[in-house]
Each structure stands twice: as structure tokens, then as C-alpha cells.
């Protein structure tokens, strides 16, 4: 598998002296489906924001497709798209179409190409019939899908999700989960920070557990699943009852 | 869910929906200004035209009037103030206050003009996407020196799209406070402070997240220019509005 992200000993300290992440080193390969788990304050979000260049490491190097993130911010943000926890606070456009077009307009792509790509992505995610709607009037699941569309239109190789299932009802969670799994099957590398491991573990290829800014565990779901509760993350019920890893959705 | 107000954009295929937003901007500015010196006949004629476009755009007049009832109340106060303060032929007098024929005429005319301008605004905003308004502002500001038109346009867009979020947050905070008997507090100043402080905190926090989300999507001032799709009928509308404004002056 092709290596996309190479993280070499990165650390980040905030202005108040709090160390968000400490000496993290790992590699991420094309097509992986990674769950990033850990308690609140374990450093998951800080780590994810480094991947997209929203935060830069104080020490160490973060290399994306062979290029240092610090020197190639725009290229990094095109390669690694980020979907934030609260959909409402990341929606910029006042129609669904404009929201998806935002990233491409920033890249100064020609209008005809923007229209073509946005239409394609909206159709792929089954959102085209909503193209003239105000994004804030959509349901929770639709809003989350819209934020994914806004990232997907920029052709990223890696999509990073920060708590993608928070505040979603069951149908909304199914909608978003199905979209994420389809994206992974179409070749995108997926990284999900979540407390809700049970929802995605069946499709994951790797689990990374963080605690106090450090990576404590990194391995295949089957090897890590029994250790989850030791780090304050709920172990899936099927595993607790001895049924191993089962799919969450039918 | 965002609440629907008379100023909320409604999807449609009417001629006003399809008209180029720059043309609409020009026409409402021209007609609103032409209305200022206009007399009764011109105002009634303009009202008739507005009524036609209201129907044509699929808008509900009664519902709109219901939504702007407080504005109509304000117009009533303007009418009363004019009727009582204008000198002329006295109809009725009580102590120092006198209602005059000229005052009633003038009061009615001024209120009616404000009402027509308001309805023009309702038609404009109901048939124009907020994103088109943003694009038109950017287009009109482009020749103005020292004004970063793209930044102004994105600020307008953010303000428009964030308004429902802020209103929703205000409602949530207010309900959370009511659930803890905040209604018992009768001092309106204290009530407002209790609402505004957490609302500001939440709004700034949301703005921080928004900045991160925009940065993560490569936000830059140097962006693709907006697209305008003319309907082909702009010339006729512009010509008609110029003739109409000249007609207002004549009538």
C-alpha cells in the first residue's frame, strides 16, 4: 500500500503551556480505515488538526505525499479533507450548491468546472434535489452529508472526521455511516475520531488509542478491542458478550 | 429548522426569480427613489404593479401583511404624527392638538410610500437568492477603490447564513433559562444581560470553528468570480422602470 502520511515525532504545546500531543510517530497508508479513540481531552482533535495543517507541530515533521505540511499548506488541505464535529458551524454557503462550491471557488477553479463537479458530487451523495435549499434547514444527517460533499468536491485522498455521529439520530447515523463506508470502498483513506467505536469498528482496518496526548495502542481492531475500556472507551456490546466484531448496520 | 419570514427566499420560476439580480438591484433603487416625490395617483399605480408581481411570484399577500403587522403599526403612528403636526384646514381640535386635511393627506401619502417600499423589498428578497445578493454586491463594489469586494461579499454571505444559527442559539439559551425559572426575574435589563452574555460566548466560539472550517477548505480572498445568468428580459425591465420613474414625476 502507498504511504500517504508520514508523521515523525510531532509534539504541540498550546499558549497556556498545555501539551496537546506528545512525540507522535506513525504512518498512514492509502485505503486504510482508521478509528482514533480516546477519552475527552486525550488529544484526538489536536492530532487531527495537525493532519490538515490547521495546527502546526512545534517539533517533528509531518509529511503528506512526500511534502512537508508546513511548506505546502494548500496542497495538504486538498489532499486531506476535514469534516468537523458541528456541521452548523462549518457551513459557509447559503444554499446547498454554494456550500459545496466554496472550496473550489477558493482554489479559483473555472465556474463551468465548479458547476460540473458540484453537480456530480451532489448526485453521488444523493443531495442534488436539495441544491437550492438553505443548508441550515436540512436534517442532521443531510447536513453532515453536505459537509462531506463540501470536502469531497476537492478530490481529497484522505478524509478526516471528528465525531461524525454526534447529535445524529439513528437514520442520520446510518446515512452518514453508509456514506463513509462507500467513500472508503471507492479508495479514500478514512480517519475517524469517535467515542462511538461500536458503529464503525466492523469496517475499520486499524484502531489508534490516545491518552494524555500520547499514542497508547495502534493495531488491528481484533487485537485492540478488549483494551478499549482500559482507556475509557466503551467496548462494543457484541465483543463483551463474546460475539466478536459484528456489523452495526444491517 | 430556519424560520420562514417574508424576507426569506422562496424557490420559484417566475420572471422575477429569473431576472438578473443586478438588474433587480438597479430597478428597486430607481423606483424607491422615484417614489419619494410621487403623488397619490403614481403611488396607487405603483401599488397595482406590485400587486401583479406579488401574484406572479406566487407570494401570499395576506400572509405577508400578517408578518409585517408591526411595521404597519409603525406606519399608523407616522400617519397620526403627520396628521397632528401639519398646519392647514382644521377638521378637529382638542386642546393644542389639531387634525388638518393637509395633515391627513400628507400622513396617508408618506405611510403609503413607506408601505410600498417595504413591499418592494419583500418581493425582491423573496425572489432573490442570498448568494445572488452577495454576488451583486461584489459586482457593484468591484470598481470602488480601496474596498475589498470579495471579502465584503463573503462577510455578507456569512452574516446571512449565520443569522438563523444565532437566532436558534438565542432561543435555546432562553428556553434553558426559562426551564430554571428565569421568568421570575422581572428586571428587563438583567434578563437581557443573562441572555446576551452566553449568546455572545457561543457566537464567538462558533465563529472560531467557522474560521477553522474555512481555512481547512483553503479559504482565500482571491476566489472564483460569481456567475450571473441573465434571463434575456433585463433590457425590457430596465426600460420599463425608467419610463415608470419618469411617469411618477409627471403624475
| CATH (domain of A154) | 3.40.50.300
User: Is A182 part of a structural domain of the chain?
Assistant: yes
CB count, 10 Å around CB of B108? 17
What CA dihedral angle connects A61, A67, A69 and A71, to 10 degrees? Answer: 110
Same domain, B94 and B28: yes
CA distance A21 to chain B (A): 19
Choose from A89, A111, A133 for mutation: most chain B CBs within 10 A: A89
Closest CA to B176 of B194, B149, B152, B160: B194
Are A104 and B219 in contact (CB < 8 Å)? Answer: no
Q: Which of A137-146, B93-102, B137-146 has the lowest mean pLDDT?
A: B93-102
Are A74 and B11 in contact (CB < 8 Å)? Answer: no
User: Is A20 part of a structural domain of the chain?
Assistant: no
pLDDT at B97 over 90: no
How many residue contacts between A and B have a Cβ separation below 8 Å?
A: 99
State the total domains in chain A.
Answer: 1
Range of the domain at B116: 15-128+231-250
pTM: 0.78
As a whole number, mean pLDDT of residues B51-61 equals 89
CA distance B23 to chain A (A): 21
Q: Which stretch of DSSP H or E encloses residue A229?
A: none
Query: Which residues on chain A place their C-beta less than 8 Å from a C-beta of chain B?
Result: 49, 52, 54, 74, 77-78, 81-82, 84, 86, 88-95, 98, 102-111, 114-115, 132, 134-137, 150-151, 154
Are A92 and B157 in contact (CB < 8 Å)? Answer: yes
User: Is A58 part of a structural domain of the chain?
Assistant: no
Residue of A107, A136, A151 with shortest CB distance to B161: A136
User: Is B5 part of a structural domain of the chain?
Assistant: no
Q: Which of A166-175, B86-95, B197-206 has the lowest mean pLDDT?
A: B86-95
A248 three-state secondary structure? coil
Same domain, B114 and B19: yes
Residue of A82, A106, A111 with shortest CB distance to B227: A111
Same domain, B115 and B171: no
Same domain, B114 and B154: no
Same domain, B78 and B192: no
Q: What is the pLDDT of residues A107-131, one digit of tens each?
A: 999 999 999 999 999 999 999 999 9
User: Is B144 part of a structural domain of the chain?
Assistant: no
Residues of chain A with pLDDT below 70 are none
Same domain, B69 and B164: no
Same domain, B29 and B73: yes
Q: How high is the mean pLDDT of chain B?
A: 87
Contacts of B187 (CB under 8 A, 6+ apart): none
User: Is A246 part of a structural domain of the chain?
Assistant: no
Output B5 or B30, whichever has higher pLDDT: B30
pLDDT at position B5 is 65
User: Is A206 part of a structural domain of the chain?
Assistant: yes
Chain B positions in Cβ-Cβ contact with residue A132 (cut-off 8 Å): 11, 129
Output B5 or B186, whichever has higher pLDDT: B186
Range of the domain at A104: 31-52+73-240
User: Is A166 part of a structural domain of the chain?
Assistant: yes
pLDDT at position B3 is 53
Q: Please tell me which residue of chain A has the smallest CA distance to B164.
A: A136
Q: Which of B132-136, B222-226, B238-242 has the highest mean pLDDT?
A: B238-242
As a whole number, mean pLDDT of residues B53-63 equals 88
pLDDT at position A222 is 92
State the total domains in chain B.
Answer: 2
Annotate B177-215 with DSSP letters as a single string.
HHTTTGGG---HHHHHHHHHHHHHHHHHHHHHHHHHHHH
Same domain, B111 and B41: yes
Are B209 and A151 in contact (CB < 8 Å)? Answer: no
Same domain, B170 and B90: no
Amino acid at each position: 500500500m502507498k504511504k500517504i502520511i508520514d508523521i515523525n515525532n510531532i509534539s504541540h504545546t498550546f499558549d497556556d503551556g498545555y501539551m496537546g500531543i506528545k512525540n507522535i510517530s506513525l504512518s498512514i497508508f492509502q485505503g486504510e480505515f482508521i478509528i482514533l479513540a480516546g477519552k475527552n481531552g486525550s488529544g484526538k482533535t489536536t492530532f487531527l488538526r495537525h493532519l490538515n495543517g490547521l495546527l502546526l507541530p512545534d517539533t517533528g515533521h509531518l509529511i503528506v505525499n512526500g511534502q512537508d505540511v508546513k511548506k505546502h499548506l494548500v496542497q495538504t488541505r486538498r489532499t486531506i479533507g476535514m469534516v468537523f464535529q458541528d456541521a452548523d458551524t462549518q457551513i459557509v454557503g447559503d444554499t446547498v450548491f454554494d456550500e459545496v462550491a466554496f472550496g473550489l471557488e477558493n482554489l479559483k477553479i473555472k465556474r463551468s468546472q465548479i458547476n460540473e463537479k458540484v453537480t456530480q458530487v451532489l448526485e453521488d451523495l444523493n443531495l442534488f434535489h436539495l441544491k437550492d435549499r438553505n443548508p441550515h434547514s436540512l436534517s442532521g444527517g443531510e447536513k453532515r452529508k453536505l459537509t462531506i460533499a463540501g470536502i469531497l468536491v476537492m478530490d481529497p485522498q484522505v478524509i478526516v472526521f471528528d465525531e461524525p455521529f454526534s447529535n445524529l439520530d439513528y437514520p442520520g447515523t446510518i446515512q452518514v455511516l453508509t456514506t463513509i463506508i462507500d467513500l472508503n470502498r471507492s479508495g479514500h483513506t478514512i480517519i475517524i475520531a469517535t467515542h462511538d467505536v461500536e458503529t464503525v469498528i466492523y469496517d475499520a482496518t486499524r484502531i489508534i488509542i490516545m491518552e494524555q496526548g500520547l499514542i497508547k495502542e495502534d493495531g488491528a481492531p481484533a487485537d485492540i478491542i478488549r483494551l478499549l475500556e482500559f482507556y475509557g472507551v466503551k467496548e462494543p456490546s457484541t465483543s463483551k458478550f463474546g460475539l466478536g466484531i459484528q456489523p452495526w448496520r444491517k | 429548522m430556519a424560520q420562514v419570514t417574508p424576507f426569506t427566499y422562496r424557490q420559484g420560476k417566475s420572471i422575477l426569480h429569473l431576472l438578473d439580480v443586478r438588474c433587480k438591484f438597479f430597478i428597486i433603487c430607481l423606483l424607491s427613489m422615484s417614489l419619494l416625490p410621487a403623488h397619490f395617483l403614481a403611488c396607487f399605480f405603483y401599488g397595482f404593479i406590485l400587486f401583479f408581481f406579488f401574484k406572479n411570484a406566487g407570494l401570499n399577500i395576506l400572509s405577508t401583511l400578517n408578518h409585517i403587522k408591526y411595521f404597519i403599526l409603525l406606519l399608523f403612528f407616522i400617519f397620526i404624527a403627520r396628521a397632528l403636526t401639519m398646519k392647514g384646514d382644521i377638521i378637529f381640535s382638542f386642546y393644542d392638538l389639531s387634525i388638518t386635511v393637509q395633515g391627513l393627506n400628507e400622513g396617508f401619502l408618506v405611510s403609503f410610500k413607506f408601505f410600498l417600499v417595504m413591499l418592494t423589498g419583500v418581493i425582491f428578497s423573496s425572489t432573490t437568492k442570498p448568494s445572488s445578493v452577495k454576488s451583486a454586491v461584489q459586482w457593484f463594489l468591484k470598481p470602488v477603490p480601496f474596498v475589498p469586494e470579495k471579502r465584503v461579499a463573503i462577510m455578507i454571505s456569512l452574516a446571512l447564513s449565520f443569522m438563523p444559527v444565532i437566532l436558534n442559539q438565542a432561543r435555546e439559551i432562553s428556553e434553558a433559562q426559562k426551564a430554571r425559572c428565569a421568568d421570575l426575574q422581572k428586571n428587563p435589563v438583567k434578563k437581557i444581560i443573562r441572555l446576551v452574555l452566553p449568546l455572545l460566548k457561543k457566537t464567538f466560539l462558533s465563529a472560531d470553528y467557522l474560521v477553522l472550517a474555512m481555512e481547512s477548505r483553503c479559504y482565500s480572498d482571491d476566489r472564483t468570480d460569481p456567475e450571473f445568468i441573465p434571463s434575456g428580459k433585463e433590457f425590457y425591465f430596465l426600460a420599463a422602470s425608467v419610463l415608470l420613474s419618469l411617469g411618477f414625476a409627471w403624475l
